[in-house]
Protein backbone atom coordinates (compact mmCIF):
# COMPACT_ATOMS: atom_id res chain seq x y z
CA UNK A 1 0.00 0.00 0.00
CA UNK A 2 1.16 3.51 -0.82
CA UNK A 3 0.48 6.55 1.32
CA UNK A 4 1.92 10.03 1.01
CA UNK A 5 3.86 11.20 4.07
CA UNK A 6 2.60 14.72 3.39
CA UNK A 7 3.12 17.60 0.99
CA UNK A 8 5.68 19.56 3.03
CA UNK A 9 9.28 18.34 3.04
CA UNK A 10 10.54 20.88 5.60
CA UNK A 11 10.17 24.49 6.64
CA UNK A 12 12.67 27.36 6.57
CA UNK A 13 11.85 30.14 9.04
CA UNK A 14 8.24 29.02 8.96
CA UNK A 15 8.15 28.95 5.17
CA UNK A 16 7.05 25.51 3.87
CA UNK A 17 9.10 23.81 1.17
CA UNK A 18 6.97 21.30 -0.73
CA UNK A 19 8.03 17.89 -2.00
CA UNK A 20 6.30 18.70 -5.29
CA UNK A 21 8.63 21.62 -5.94
CA UNK A 22 11.73 19.67 -4.92
CA UNK A 23 10.86 16.77 -7.21
CA UNK A 24 9.97 18.97 -10.17
CA UNK A 25 13.16 20.98 -9.78
CA UNK A 26 15.16 17.74 -9.63
CA UNK A 27 13.37 16.39 -12.71
CA UNK A 28 14.11 19.57 -14.68
CA UNK A 29 17.78 19.57 -13.66
CA UNK A 30 18.22 15.91 -14.59
CA UNK A 31 16.33 16.44 -17.85
CA UNK A 32 18.65 19.21 -19.02
CA UNK A 33 21.74 17.31 -17.92
CA UNK A 34 20.65 14.17 -19.81
CA UNK A 35 19.78 16.21 -22.93
CA UNK A 36 23.26 17.76 -22.88
CA UNK A 37 24.90 14.37 -22.27
CA UNK A 38 23.01 12.70 -25.12
CA UNK A 39 23.83 15.49 -27.54
CA UNK A 40 27.54 15.16 -26.77
CA UNK A 41 27.39 11.37 -26.92
CA UNK A 42 25.55 10.97 -30.21
CA UNK A 43 26.53 14.08 -32.18
CA UNK A 44 30.05 14.68 -30.82
CA UNK A 45 29.26 18.39 -30.67
CA UNK A 46 30.27 19.89 -27.33
CA UNK A 47 29.72 23.47 -28.50
CA UNK A 48 26.03 22.95 -29.23
CA UNK A 49 25.60 20.73 -26.17
CA UNK A 50 26.92 23.53 -23.96
CA UNK A 51 24.34 25.89 -25.48
CA UNK A 52 21.66 23.70 -23.89
CA UNK A 53 22.72 24.94 -20.47
CA UNK A 54 22.94 28.52 -21.75
CA UNK A 55 19.30 28.65 -22.81
CA UNK A 56 17.99 26.34 -20.07
CA UNK A 57 16.56 29.24 -17.97
CA UNK A 58 14.60 30.51 -20.97
CA UNK A 59 13.16 27.06 -21.69
CA UNK A 60 12.27 26.55 -18.02
CA UNK A 61 10.37 29.85 -17.87
CA UNK A 62 8.42 29.15 -21.07
CA UNK A 63 7.79 25.55 -20.01
CA UNK A 64 6.38 26.57 -16.63
CA UNK A 65 4.31 29.37 -18.17
CA UNK A 66 2.94 26.97 -20.77
CA UNK A 67 2.13 24.38 -18.10
CA UNK A 68 0.34 26.94 -15.94
CA UNK A 69 -1.59 28.66 -18.73
CA UNK A 70 -2.76 25.33 -20.15
CA UNK A 71 -3.93 24.22 -16.69
CA UNK A 72 -5.78 27.49 -16.12
CA UNK A 73 -7.36 27.26 -19.57
CA UNK A 74 -8.84 23.80 -18.96
CA UNK A 75 -9.99 25.09 -15.56
CA UNK A 76 -11.40 28.26 -17.10
CA UNK A 77 -14.65 28.24 -15.12
CA UNK A 78 -12.69 28.52 -11.86
CA UNK A 79 -9.88 30.86 -12.87
CA UNK A 80 -12.19 33.23 -14.74
CA UNK A 81 -13.63 34.04 -11.31
CA UNK A 82 -10.30 33.91 -9.46
CA UNK A 83 -8.01 35.69 -11.91
CA UNK A 84 -5.26 36.57 -9.45
CA UNK A 85 -4.87 32.92 -8.47
CA UNK A 86 -3.50 32.27 -11.95
CA UNK A 87 -0.23 33.73 -10.66
CA UNK A 88 -0.23 31.65 -7.48
CA UNK A 89 2.05 28.84 -8.65
CA UNK A 90 2.48 27.53 -5.12
CA UNK A 91 -1.08 26.26 -4.99
CA UNK A 92 -0.21 23.76 -7.76
CA UNK A 93 -1.72 23.32 -11.16
CA UNK A 94 0.74 22.50 -13.94
CA UNK A 95 0.00 20.50 -17.07
CA UNK A 96 2.57 18.37 -18.87
CA UNK A 97 0.96 19.07 -22.26
CA UNK A 98 1.34 22.80 -21.69
CA UNK A 99 4.90 22.34 -20.48
CA UNK A 100 5.84 20.37 -23.59
CA UNK A 101 4.29 22.99 -25.88
CA UNK A 102 6.00 25.84 -24.04
CA UNK A 103 9.31 24.00 -24.17
CA UNK A 104 9.02 23.36 -27.91
CA UNK A 105 8.22 27.01 -28.59
CA UNK A 106 11.19 28.05 -26.46
CA UNK A 107 13.48 25.58 -28.20
CA UNK A 108 12.37 26.84 -31.62
CA UNK A 109 13.19 30.43 -30.60
CA UNK A 110 16.60 29.44 -29.23
CA UNK A 111 17.58 27.42 -32.29
CA UNK A 112 16.60 30.28 -34.55
CA UNK A 113 18.67 32.71 -32.48
CA UNK A 114 21.74 30.47 -32.22
CA UNK A 115 21.25 28.92 -35.69
CA UNK A 116 21.20 25.35 -34.38
CA UNK A 117 19.60 22.16 -35.71
CA UNK A 118 16.22 22.04 -34.02
CA UNK A 119 15.51 18.42 -35.01
CA UNK A 120 18.63 17.11 -33.28
CA UNK A 121 17.82 19.12 -30.17
CA UNK A 122 14.21 17.94 -30.21
CA UNK A 123 15.47 14.36 -30.25
CA UNK A 124 17.82 14.91 -27.30
CA UNK A 125 15.17 16.73 -25.29
CA UNK A 126 12.46 14.18 -26.11
CA UNK A 127 14.54 11.37 -24.65
CA UNK A 128 15.46 13.35 -21.54
CA UNK A 129 11.91 14.64 -21.08
CA UNK A 130 10.58 11.09 -20.80
CA UNK A 131 13.00 10.48 -17.91
CA UNK A 132 12.14 13.83 -16.31
CA UNK A 133 8.43 12.96 -16.48
CA UNK A 134 9.08 9.61 -14.81
CA UNK A 135 10.70 11.48 -11.92
CA UNK A 136 8.26 14.37 -11.85
CA UNK A 137 5.19 12.15 -11.50
CA UNK A 138 6.30 11.35 -7.95
CA UNK A 139 5.39 14.91 -7.06
CA UNK A 140 1.77 13.82 -7.58
CA UNK A 141 2.30 11.07 -5.01
CA UNK A 142 3.27 13.52 -2.28
CA UNK A 143 0.32 15.76 -3.22
CA UNK A 144 -2.10 12.79 -3.20
CA UNK A 145 -3.28 13.64 -6.70
CA UNK A 146 -3.41 12.15 -10.21
CA UNK A 147 -4.91 8.93 -8.84
CA UNK A 148 -7.31 6.50 -10.45
CA UNK A 149 -10.48 4.62 -9.65
CA UNK A 150 -11.00 2.78 -6.34
CA UNK A 151 -9.15 -0.52 -6.06
CA UNK A 152 -8.12 -3.12 -3.51
CA UNK A 153 -4.99 -4.29 -5.33
CA UNK A 154 -1.84 -4.85 -3.22
CA UNK A 155 -0.25 -1.69 -4.67
CA UNK A 156 -3.30 0.44 -3.85
CA UNK A 157 -2.86 4.09 -2.91
CA UNK A 158 -4.44 5.61 0.19
CA UNK A 159 -5.97 9.02 -0.48
CA UNK A 160 -6.91 11.33 2.44
CA UNK A 161 -10.61 12.05 2.60
CA UNK A 162 -10.13 15.75 1.80
CA UNK A 163 -8.42 14.82 -1.49
CA UNK A 164 -11.10 12.45 -2.76
CA UNK A 165 -13.81 13.36 -5.26
CA UNK A 166 -17.13 13.80 -3.49
CA UNK A 167 -18.69 10.87 -5.36
CA UNK A 168 -15.91 8.56 -4.12
CA UNK A 169 -15.53 9.93 -0.62
CA UNK A 170 -16.36 6.58 1.01
CA UNK A 171 -13.47 4.81 -0.71
CA UNK A 172 -10.03 4.76 0.92
CA UNK A 173 -7.83 3.18 -1.74
CA UNK A 174 -7.30 4.05 -5.38
CA UNK A 175 -5.19 3.08 -8.40
CA UNK A 176 -1.77 4.82 -8.16
CA UNK A 177 -1.94 6.10 -11.74
CA UNK A 178 0.97 8.42 -11.00
CA UNK A 179 3.06 5.26 -10.51
CA UNK A 180 1.75 3.62 -13.69
CA UNK A 181 2.66 6.66 -15.74
CA UNK A 182 6.03 7.04 -14.03
CA UNK A 183 6.98 3.45 -14.90
CA UNK A 184 5.70 3.78 -18.46
CA UNK A 185 7.59 7.08 -18.92
CA UNK A 186 10.72 5.30 -17.73
CA UNK A 187 10.06 2.55 -20.27
CA UNK A 188 9.65 5.19 -23.00
CA UNK A 189 13.02 6.66 -22.01
CA UNK A 190 14.78 3.32 -22.41
CA UNK A 191 13.00 2.60 -25.71
CA UNK A 192 14.05 5.96 -27.15
CA UNK A 193 17.57 5.54 -25.83
CA UNK A 194 17.87 2.11 -27.45
CA UNK A 195 16.65 3.47 -30.80
CA UNK A 196 18.66 6.69 -30.80
CA UNK A 197 21.58 5.46 -32.92
CA UNK A 198 19.22 3.84 -35.40
CA UNK A 199 17.66 7.20 -36.21
CA UNK A 200 20.78 9.36 -36.20
CA UNK A 201 20.39 9.89 -39.95
CA UNK A 202 16.72 10.79 -39.55
CA UNK A 203 16.78 13.65 -37.08
CA UNK A 204 13.37 14.30 -35.57
CA UNK A 205 12.21 10.69 -35.45
CA UNK A 206 13.04 10.26 -31.76
CA UNK A 207 10.84 13.31 -31.16
CA UNK A 208 8.08 11.69 -33.22
CA UNK A 209 8.37 8.41 -31.31
CA UNK A 210 8.26 10.26 -28.01
CA UNK A 211 5.06 12.08 -29.00
CA UNK A 212 3.45 8.83 -30.16
CA UNK A 213 4.48 6.70 -27.19
CA UNK A 214 3.61 9.25 -24.53
CA UNK A 215 0.28 10.06 -26.18
CA UNK A 216 -0.76 6.40 -26.20
CA UNK A 217 0.32 6.09 -22.56
CA UNK A 218 -1.67 9.16 -21.60
CA UNK A 219 -4.79 7.98 -23.42
CA UNK A 220 -4.64 4.69 -21.52
CA UNK A 221 -3.93 6.27 -18.13
CA UNK A 222 -6.81 8.72 -18.51
CA UNK A 223 -9.28 5.81 -18.58
CA UNK A 224 -8.31 5.07 -14.98
CA UNK A 225 -7.99 8.59 -13.59
CA UNK A 226 -10.91 10.20 -11.81
CA UNK A 227 -9.65 13.79 -11.61
CA UNK A 228 -10.25 15.07 -15.12
CA UNK A 229 -11.21 18.74 -14.87
CA UNK A 230 -12.69 19.01 -18.35
CA UNK A 231 -14.51 16.44 -20.47
CA UNK A 232 -15.49 16.96 -24.09
CA UNK A 233 -18.20 14.63 -25.42
CA UNK A 234 -17.56 12.37 -22.44
CA UNK A 235 -13.79 12.08 -22.90
CA UNK A 236 -11.10 13.88 -20.86
CA UNK A 237 -9.47 16.80 -22.62
CA UNK A 238 -6.07 15.10 -22.16
CA UNK A 239 -7.23 12.28 -24.42
CA UNK A 240 -8.38 14.68 -27.12
CA UNK A 241 -5.08 16.54 -26.96
CA UNK A 242 -3.21 13.23 -27.13
CA UNK A 243 -5.11 12.25 -30.27
CA UNK A 244 -4.22 15.60 -31.88
CA UNK A 245 -0.57 15.05 -30.91
CA UNK A 246 -0.63 11.59 -32.52
CA UNK A 247 -2.00 13.06 -35.76
CA UNK A 248 0.65 15.81 -35.69
CA UNK A 249 3.40 13.24 -35.03
CA UNK A 250 2.37 11.14 -38.03
CA UNK A 251 2.40 14.17 -40.34
CA UNK A 252 5.75 15.24 -38.89
CA UNK A 253 7.20 11.76 -39.54
CA UNK A 254 6.01 11.99 -43.15
CA UNK A 255 7.73 15.38 -43.41
CA UNK A 256 11.00 13.96 -42.06
CA UNK A 257 11.04 11.08 -44.56
CA UNK A 258 10.06 13.32 -47.48
CA UNK A 259 12.80 15.73 -46.45
CA UNK A 260 15.38 12.93 -46.62
CA UNK A 261 14.29 11.92 -50.10
CA UNK A 262 14.33 15.42 -51.54
pLDDT one-digit tens code per residue, 85-123 = 777 766 667 788 999 999 999 999 999 999 999 999 999
The per-residue pLDDT for 232 is 83
| Start-to-end C-alpha separation, the chain | 56
Indicate whether 258 pLDDT > 60.
yes
Under 8 Å between Cβ of 240 and 232: yes
Under 8 Å between Cβ of 176 and 155: yes
Give the CA diameter of the chain. Answer: 62
pLDDT one-digit tens code per residue, 124-140 = 999 999 999 999 999 99
pLDDT one-digit tens code per residue, 5-55 = 999 999 998 899 999 989 999 999 999 999 999 999 999 999 899 999 999
Q: What gap in Å lies between CA 236 and CA 221, rounded to an integer?
A: 11
Q: How confident is the model at residue 1 (pLDDT cuts 50, 70, 90)?
A: confident
Query: How many degrees, rounded to 5, is the angle at CA 229 between CA 171 and CA 126?
Result: 105
pLDDT one-digit tens code per residue, 185-237 = 999 999 999 999 999 999 999 999 999 999 999 999 999 999 877 788 888 88
Q: What is the pTM of this model?
A: 0.92
Is the Cα dihedral 103, 222, 207, 45 positive or negative? positive
Amino acid sequence: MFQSPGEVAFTIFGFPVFWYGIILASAVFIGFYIAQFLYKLFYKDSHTADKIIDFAPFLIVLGVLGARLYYCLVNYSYYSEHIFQIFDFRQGGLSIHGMILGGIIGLFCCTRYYRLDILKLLDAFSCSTALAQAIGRWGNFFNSEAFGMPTDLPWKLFIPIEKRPFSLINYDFFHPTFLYESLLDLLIFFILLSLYRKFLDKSGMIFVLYLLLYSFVRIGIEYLRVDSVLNIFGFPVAQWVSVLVIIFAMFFAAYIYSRKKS
